[in-house]
Structure 1
Amino acid sequence: MSKRIKKNKDGTKKNLDNHLAPKFDYPSEVSLYFGFSPIKTPTIKKEDIDASKSFSMEQDGSSPLSCVCEEKFAILRTYLKNEMHSLPQPVMLEYKKPLRGMKQKKHGENHVGLEIIGVSSAAAEALAIRTACSILEDEGYENLELRINSIGDKDSILAFEKNLHNYVRKNISSMPTELQKLVKQDVFNLTRNTREEWSKWTDGAPKSISFLTDHSRNHLKEALEFIETLGFPYHISSNLIGNPKFCSHIIFEITTETNSGPQLVAHGYRYERISKRAGLKKETPALGLSVFYKPIKNKSKLRPLPKAKYCLIQVGFAAKLKVLNVIELLRKAKIAVAYSIFKDKLSSQILSAENLKVSHLILIGQKEALEDAVVVRDINTRVQETIPAEKLAYHLKSLK
C-alpha cells in the first residue's frame, strides 16, 4: 500500500518551497549539494524562551560549547507549525544565524545553522560534519580537527549523573573553594572544567562514555566509523557534555589551528529530548550544528545549482561509509547528485531514482567500497561501467 502524500489546502503537495531563503550564498550552495534546504531564518518567540527555562543550567564558562535551548525550541516549533513532519524524513535545513531575537554575532563573522530532523542514524552526525567542513574548507580554513564525546541516551545520562554525584560527595571536602562552588551549582561543571590546577579532581571524575547503554555505544561506534572514513583527525574529549538536561548522544566541536592555539569554528549536538515539550506527539530525533567563520572576499559569482542527472545508490554499510566522500568529490566538480545516505533498501533507492528521472545511477556495493570504485549505469540502456572513484567526476562530465 502506497503512503498517502499530505497536501496543502490548495491541493498541492507539501514541500519546503514556501520556507526557502530568498537569497543563497556560498554556505547555502555547499549545503544544497549535500541535500539541505536553505530556509528563512526562524524567529525566537516568548514561548520558546518560556519553554526553555526548565532546561537552563549553570555553566562555569570554561567550554566554548554553547547549547542554546530556546534556539532549538524555535527550530522545532518551525518544524511543527509548518507541518514539516508530514514531509519525507529526514528534513534537512540550512539557515543564517543568529535567529531573530538572539544576541547578534561578532562583526565580520558569518554564522550558519544546519539541522537534521527525523532520523536517529549516526550518518546524520557524519553528514552534518562533512557539510560543515566543506563550508569551512571553501572559506580557506585548514587543519580542521574534531573533538567528540557521547553522553548517550536518557538512561546513560542518569547513570553518569548518579556516579558523578557519588564521586563529588566523597571528594568535595578536598576541593578548592571555587571548585566546590561550581559543582554545587551544577555537578556537571566538574566534568566540563579543563583548568590544569584542578586536574587532580577532574581527571579522576567519572567519564560519560563509561556509562553508555548498548544502544548509545553502538551509535558512537557507528559515528566514529563514518568519521574515520571521512579522514578527519579526531579525539575523544570527555569534558564535552553540553547541557545534559536536553542534549543527548554525540556532542562535537570542530577546531582549526591558529598562532594563538585551537580556534572553535563549529559545534553540534542532538536535542530530541525536548521534542515532546516542543509539541511533537513523540520524541523525534534532531541534530543541530552551528558553523562560524570569517568569509573570504572577492569570490566568483554564484550560479544556480544544476539539476541532478545522477542518483547515487549504496548497498551495505561499507558502501554507505563511502557515500559522503563521493558526494564531496562531485561537489568540488560542481556535479549535483541525488542520494539518500539514510535509506538501506535497494528497492526504495531505485524507486527514488526513477521518480527523479535521472539519466544514470552511480552504484556502490561491498566490492566497490573495498576497491574504492563505483559502477555507473545508464538507466535506459542498462549499460554499466566500473570507474575508480577519483575518476568519477571526469567520467560523468564526458557523458552526453
Structure 2
Amino acid sequence: MQKEKIKKEKSSLATECDKVGEIAVQYGFTVIKPPHIRPDHISKAKQFKDFDYYGDVEEKIALTEWYMNDKKETESQPLSIHYKKPLPGNTSKKKSSKETYGFEIMGSASSTSEALVMKCALSILNDLGYKNLYIDINSIGDRESISRFERELSAYFRKRTHDLSWKLKEGFKKNHYSILTDTSEESRDFRENAPQPISSLSDISRLHFKEVLECLEQFDVAYKIKSNCLSNKLYASYTIFEIRQLKDETKSTTDRDLLAYGYRYNHLAKKLGGKREIPSIGLTIMVKKHPTFSKKVIIKNIKKPRFYLVQLGPSAKLKVLNIVEMLRKEKIPVYHSITKDKITGQLSGAEYMRASHVLLVGQKEAMEGTCIVRNITNREQETVPLQKLAEFLKKL
C-alpha cells in the first residue's frame, strides 16, 4: 500500500506553486511533486560520493529512476520539469534559511537545453532583485575528453610531484580533481599551470561548448571560463556552470554567494542499469526566502499562452530566449519548443496547444530583428519589428 502511494505521488503533477514556479511555467517547465529519495537510492549513491561536489547525487538518482521507471521517454521529449527542493526523503539534517528550487531537462542533448536553464535562472534571480550576476562555466566534455584530460593531468602531476605536500599527493591519488578545487596557497602554482579540461575536448564536445557560449553571448551577462568548475566525473559530462553575484570586487570568487549551479549528467542512467543514456541537465537555485515570491499560485489559474514561438536555424535559436523573456516581462506568455530543431514538430506543438498565432523567427528575421506573426486559422501573417512585437500582440 505504501509503495502504491509513493508511486502515485511520483507521477502526479503539482496543483500549486510560488512565483518561481510561475516563471518556470512561462519558460516551458512543468511543475511536479518530486519523487521520493528511497533507501536504495541512498545505497546506490555511495559509489559516487567521493566526487559529489554539490551534494545532490541522491536527488539525481531519484529523478533518473523516476524517469526510467515511469517510462517518461514515451512522453513528448524533452521532459522539462520544475520542483521544490529538498526532495522528500533527503537525509541532510542541515536547516537552511534559503529556498531551494530544482529544474531538469531530460531527454535532450541539445546545447539549447543549457541555454534555456541558464536564461530561466537569470530571469528568476533578476526578478528576486539580484543584480550584477555573472556565470562561471566550464566543460569536461564526453568520455573521450574526460579520459584525455585525466591522462594529461596525471602526466603533469608526475612532473610536479616533488613540489607538493603529502596531503595533496594523497588527495590526488583518491581524486585527480581534488587538487584543482583546492584553495590553499600551496597548490596555487600547480593549479594555475595545470592542463585545462577544455584543452582536452573532443571535436563533438568542443562544438557543443561553442554553441553554449554563443547562446551566453546573447544574454547580456558577464561570464568566464573557469577551469576548476567541475562536477561528478563518474556520471557528469559536458557543461558545468555556477551563477554568482558580484557584490565586492575585493572578494575572491569563492567568497561570493553561490546562487545557482547546473551540470549535465548524461551517463547516470546507464550507471544505474539503464539500457541507454538519458541526456539530461539539471539546475539548482538557492536564494534567500522572499515573502512576495512565497505566495502560492494555483497552476491552472496561470494565464494560458495564445501564442507559440517557432524558431528555424542557428541564428534564430540564439534570439528566441530573449524574445521569451521580453514578452514575459510584458505579461505575454508564449509556448515554445526551443530545444527542438525541426519546424514540423514545432508547428504540430502549436496546433496541439491550440495557439491562435505562431510567432516565427527564421534566419532572415533573426538578422533583421523581426518576427512573423501568423494567424493559425486563416494563415494571414504580418512581419513585425521585435521592439514593437509586445505592443502588436496586445492588440490581437
Deviation at 1:105, TM superposition (A): 5.9
- Of 227, 239, 245, which aligns to 1:250? 239
Residue identity opposite 1:162 in structure 2: R
CA shift digits 1:69-90 (9 cap, x unpaired): 2211100111122221110110
Q: Is the 8 A contact 2:313 2:362 kept in 1?
A: yes
Q: What's 1:56 paired with?
A: 49
* 2:182 is aligned with 1:193: yes
Shift of 1:67: 4.8
CA contact (8 A) 1:266 1:292 kept: yes
Taking the TM superposition and a 5 Å limit, the aligned residue runs for 1:286-365 are: 286-298=280-292, 302=297, 304-365=301-362
Alignment correspondent of 1:89: 77
Q: Deviation of residue 331 (structure 1)?
A: 1.3
Task: Tell which has more relative contact order, 1 or 2 (C-alpha 8 A, sep 6+).
Answer: 2
**Which has the larger share of helix?**
2
The residue number in structure 1 matching 2:3 is none
State the distance in 1 between where 2:260 and 2:59 align: 16
What's the CA shift string for 1:140-184, capped at 9, x where partnerless? 111110000000001110111111111112211221333223223
Query: Counterpart in 2 of 1:6?
Result: none
CA distance in structure 2 between the partners assigned to 1:182 and 1:278 by the alignment? 27
Match of 2:63 among 69, 72, 75: 75
How many angstroms apart in 2 are the aligned matches of 1:135 and 1:106? 23
In structure 2, how many angstroms separate the alpha carbons of the residues matched to 1:104 and 1:219?
38
Match of 2:87 among 99, 106, 113: 99
Contact 1:98 1:105 in 2 (8 A): no
Asked if 1:38 corresponds to 2:31, the answer is yes
Corresponding position of 2:18 = 25
Q: Which moved more, 1:192-201 or 1:95-104?
A: 192-201
Cα 1:200–1:298, aligned 2, differ >3 Å: closer, same or farther?
Answer: closer
Cα gap change, 1:298 to 1:56, in 2 (>3 Å): closer
Contact 1:150–1:250 under 8 Å retained in 2: yes
Superposition map of 1:150-299 within 5 A: 150-259=139-248, 262-298=256-292
Number of residue pairs aligned between Structure 1 and Structure 2: 379
CA distance in 1, matches of 2:273, 2:320: 34
8 A Cα contact 2:77 2:108, kept in partner: yes
8 Å CA contact 1:19–1:39 kept in 2: the answer is yes
| 1:106 Cα offset (Å) | 4.3
For 2:326 and 2:139, how far apart are their aligned partners in 1?
29
Alpha-carbon separation, structure 2, partners of 1:165 and 1:118:
34
TM-score by length of structure 2 reads 0.90
1:301 Cα offset (Å) = 7.1
Residues 100-139 of structure 1 mapped to structure 2, 5 A cutoff: 100-102=88-90, 103=92, 106-139=95-128
Structure 1: which 4+ aligned runs deviate by more than 6 Å? none
- The offset of 1:383, in angstroms, is 2.3
CA distance in 1: counterparts of 2:360 and 2:283, whole angstroms: 29
Deviation per CA, 1:263-298: give whole Å up to 9, x if none: 110001111211123343211101111000013324
Please state whether the residue corresponding to 1:293 is helix, strand or coil: strand
- Contact 2:10 / 2:66 at 8 angstroms: preserved in 1? no
Q: Quick check: 1:67–1:243 contact (8 Å CA) kept in 2?
A: no
CA offset digits 1:185-239 (Å, max 9, x no partner): 3121122223344221111111111110001000100000111112221100000
Give ranges in structure 2 of 5+ residues lacking alignment.
1-8
Conservation of the 8 A alpha-carbon contact between 2:132 and 2:247? no
Q: Matched residue of 1:230: which SS?
A: coil
Aligned twin of 2:5: none
Q: Deviations over 1:295-341 (max 9, x none)?
A: 33246774722222111111111001111111111111222211111
Matched-pair contact (CA < 8 Å) for 1:105–1:111:
no
Provide the aligned C-alpha RMSD in A.
2.0
Q: Which amino acid aligns with 1:69?
A: V
Which is further off, 194-203 or 220-229?
Answer: 194-203
Which 10-residue stretch deviates more, 180-189 or 199-208? 180-189
Q: SS of the counterpart of 2:162? A: helix
The residue type paired with residue 74 of structure 2 is S
Aligned to 2:134: 145
Greater Cα offset, 152-161 or 94-103: 94-103
Counterparts of 1:385 and 1:115 in 2: how far apart (Å)?
A: 36
Question: Is contact 2:371-2:385 (8 Å) kept?
Answer: yes
Aligned-pair distance for 1:374? 0.9
Partners of 2:308 and 2:51 in 1: CA distance: 47
Q: TM-score, normalised by structure 1?
A: 0.90
* Unaligned 5+ runs, structure 1: 1-15, 60-64
Give the distance between the partners of 1:373 and 1:79, measured in 2 at CA. Answer: 39
d(CA) in 2 for partners of 1:351 and 1:116? 20
Once residues 238 and 17 of structure 1 are traced to their aligned partners in structure 2, the CA distance between those partners, rounded to angstroms, is: 37
Residue pair 2:51, 2:231 contacting (<8 A) in 1 also? no
The CA distance in 1 between the partners of 2:304 and 2:193, in whole Å, is 55
Percent identity (aligned)? 40
User: Does the Cα contact within 8 Å between 2:171 and 2:178 map onto a contact in 1?
Assistant: yes
For 1:221 and 1:33, the matched residues in 2 are separated by: 27
Question: Residue 17 of structure 2: SS of its match in structure 1?
Answer: coil
